[in-house]
């Protein structure tokens, strides 16, 4: 007897002729989660329980997860425009955007250039300028798997991150196309909105992992000091992925912020 495999259909919408995949659940305020470089929407799995009080939407950036790639050069600005269009099409009321690392840069760009669709933003493990080591950018092109396992991966975890989390993150990153991964980090490297931070008028929550080596805590401190309505939280025993490494602490701070706006 032949058993047919069931496939779960992931919703998607067309933006600029390309399919952008996402998952959603819950009701209430719309909260749109944007993942980081080399990642996909599964990096927000630990935040889905918040759907008992909010409408949780996790999106795959173009070329990641189940979303189709975009044509042309990958820039934070181009990703930001796509996320802005995504929010317009999926959120009838103003949303809160939550971005991690590259996604944090995308969220910052959105509150600077596309704030009409937003109530606020959460910036996780990011900065106003994202400098990337040449060894990472070059290694992702030439030796993708080796660079992920020996350079990118170890810099993402705290000394207390459990092995299951390390395996999950590493396996998911390795699913990303190496050229897309390299382009993501190039986009991060060219990102710089330091001169625009004081123009941000929306409420902002900044979350940093205490042991982050990819986006060091001083980057988040700079954001706090230069964004007028910013709150700042440091999560202990976490590095670059506090939403996965310490989900209970992360979700508590996130929920408090969402309730306040």
Nearest partner of 37 among 214, 207, 193, judged by Cα: 214
Answer yes or no: is 164 within a domain.
Answer: yes
Query: Which whole-number Å values give the CA distances from 66 to 55, 88, 126, 261, in the listed order?
Result: 21, 20, 24, 31
Cβ of 11: how many Cβ atoms within 10 Å? Answer: 12
pLDDT (tens digit, 9 = 90+) per residue, 245-261? 999 999 999 999 999 99
Residue 180 backbone class (left: φ over 0; alpha: ψ -120 to 50; beta: rest): alpha
Answer yes or no: is 1 within a domain.
Answer: no
Instruction: Kindly state the average pLDDT of the residues 122-142.
Output: 91
Instruction: Kindly state the average pLDDT of the residues 172-192.
Output: 95
Answer yes or no: is 29 within a domain.
Answer: yes
pLDDT (tens digit, 9 = 90+) per residue, 183-228? 999 999 999 999 999 999 999 999 999 999 999 999 999 999 999 9
The strand pair at 18-25 and 30-34 is best described as: unpaired
In terms of residue numbers, what domain contains 150?
14-260
Domain at 217, CATH number: 3.40.50.1820
- How far apart CA 51 and CA 83 sit, in angstroms, is 20
Instruction: Kindly state the average pLDDT of the residues 15-40.
Output: 96
| pLDDT attached to residue 111 | 97
Residues 6+ apart with CB under 8 A from 65: 21, 40, 41, 42
| pLDDT attached to residue 9 | 63
Number of domains comprising the chain: 1
Residues 6+ apart with CB under 8 A from 236: 210, 246, 249
- How far apart CA 162 and CA 241 sit, in angstroms, is 12
In the chain, what is the straight-line distance between the N-terminal and C-terminal CA atoms, in Å?
Answer: 55
Q: Is this model's pTM higher than 0.85 or not?
A: yes
Question: Considering the chain, what percentage of its residues have pLDDT values greater than 70?
Answer: 97
| pLDDT attached to residue 2 | 38
Answer yes or no: is 7 within a domain.
Answer: no
Residues 6+ apart with CB under 8 A from 59: 20, 21, 22, 32, 33, 34, 35, 41, 67, 83, 86
Answer yes or no: is 170 within a domain.
Answer: yes
8 is written with which tokens? 């779960």
Instruction: Kindly state the average pLDDT of the residues 90-107.
Output: 97
- How far apart CA 33 and CA 44 sit, in angstroms, is 7
- How far apart CA 85 and CA 97 sit, in angstroms, is 13
203 is written with which tokens? 């409420």
- How far apart CA 79 and CA 73 sit, in angstroms, is 10
């Amino acid at each position: 007897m032949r058993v047919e495999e069931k496939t779960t259909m992931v919703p998607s919408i067309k933006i600029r002729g390309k399919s952008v995949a996402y998952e959603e659940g819950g009701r209430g305020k719309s909260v749109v989660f944007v993942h980081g470089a080399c990642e996909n929407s599964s990096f927000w799995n630990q935040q889905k329980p918040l759907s008992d009080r909010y409408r949780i939407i996790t999106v795959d950036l173009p070329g990641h997860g189940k979303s189709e790639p975009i044509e042309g050069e990958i820039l934070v600005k181009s990703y930001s425009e796509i996320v802005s269009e995504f929010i317009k099409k999926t959120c009838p009321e103003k949303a809160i955007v939550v971005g991690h690392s590259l996604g944090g840069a995308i969220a910052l760009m959105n509150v600077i250039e596309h704030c009409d669709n937003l109530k606020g933003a959460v910036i996780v493990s990011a900065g106003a300028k994202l400098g990337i080591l040449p060894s990472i950018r070059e290694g992702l092109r030439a030796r993708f798997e080796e660079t992920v396992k020996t350079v990118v991966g170890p810099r993402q975890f705290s000394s207390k991150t459990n092995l299951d989390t390390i395996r999950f993150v590493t396996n998911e990153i390795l699913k990303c196309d190496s050229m897309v991964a390299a382009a993501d980090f190039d986009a991060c490297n060219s990102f710089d909105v330091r001169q625009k931070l004081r123009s941000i008028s929306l409420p902002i929550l900044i979350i940093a992992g205490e042991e982050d080596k990819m986006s060091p805590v001083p980057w988040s401190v700079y954001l706090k000091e230069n964004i007028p309505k910013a709150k700042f939280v440091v999560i202990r025993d976490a590095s670059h992925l506090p939403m996965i490494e310490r989900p209970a602490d992360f979700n508590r701070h996130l929920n408090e912020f969402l309730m306040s706006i």
